[in-house]
Amino acid sequence: MILHSRSSKFFKMAVSNLQANRPPPIQLNSTTISFHKTSSINATITTLLAGEQILINDFYSDGLLLVKSLQDYLTKKHSTNSFQHQREYRAEYRALSNLILLEIQSHKLIVKKAPQIGWLKKLYPDETKFYLSFSQIQGLNSAWQWYINGISIPGIRNKIHPYYGVYFPTRFEHIQLFDHWLKYYTGTKKFAIDIGIGCGVLSLLLIKHGFQKSFGTDINPNAIIGLAESMGDTKLSRMIDIEMGHLFCNYDKKIELIVFNPPWIPIPKGEIVENLDEAIYYNEKLFSEFFIEAESRLLPDAKIAILFSNIAQITNSTDQHPIEQELLTGGRYKLVNCFKKDS
DSSP for 85-111, please give it.
HHHHHHHHHHHHHTTEEEEEETTEE-S
276, pLDDT greater than 70: no
- Count of residues in the chain: 343
Tell me the C-alpha distance between 72 and 91, whole Å.
15
C-alpha angle with apex 252: 248 to 254, nearest 5 degrees? 110
The domain ranges of the chain are 2-17+165-329, 33-147
| From 15-29, 267-281, 282-296, the region with the lowest mean pLDDT | 267-281
Are the C-beta atoms of residues 311 and 269 closer than 8 Å to each other? no
281, pLDDT greater than 60: yes
Residue 318's pLDDT band (cuts 50, 70, 90): confident
33, pLDDT greater than 60: yes
State residue 271's pLDDT score: 65
Q: What is the pLDDT of residues 175-209, one digit of tens each?
A: 999 999 999 999 899 999 999 999 999 999 999 99
State residue 342's pLDDT score: 66
For the chain, give the mean pLDDT. 88
Are the C-beta atoms of residues 138 and 132 closer than 8 Å to each other? no
Q: Residue type at 135?
A: S
DSSP bridge partners of 104: 109, 130
**Cα–Cα separations (whole angstroms), residue 117 to 68, 114, 132, 188:** 21, 9, 13, 45
The topology under which CATH files domain 2-17+165-329 is Rossmann fold (3.40.50)
More reliable by pLDDT, 70 or 30: 70
State residue 198's pLDDT score: 95
State residue 24's pLDDT score: 95
State residue 311's pLDDT score: 73
Residue 10's pLDDT band (cuts 50, 70, 90): very low
Global model pTM greater than 0.85:
yes
Pairing of strands 100-105, 129-133: antiparallel
State residue 273's pLDDT score: 60
17, pLDDT greater than 70: yes
State residue 171's pLDDT score: 87
1, pLDDT greater than 50: no
Q: What is the pLDDT of residues 215-254, one digit of tens each?
A: 999 999 999 999 999 999 899 999 999 999 999 998 888 9
Contacts of 249 (CB under 8 A, 6+ apart): 2, 217, 243
Q: What is the pLDDT of residues 91-138, one digit of tens each?
A: 899 999 999 999 999 999 999 999 999 999 999 999 999 999 999 999
Tell me the C-alpha distance between 202 and 147, whole Å.
18
DSSP for 225-284, please give it.
HHHHHHHTTSGGGGTEEEEESSTTTT--S-EEEEEE----EEPPTT----GGGGGTEE-T
Tell me the C-alpha distance between 289 and 294, whole Å.
8
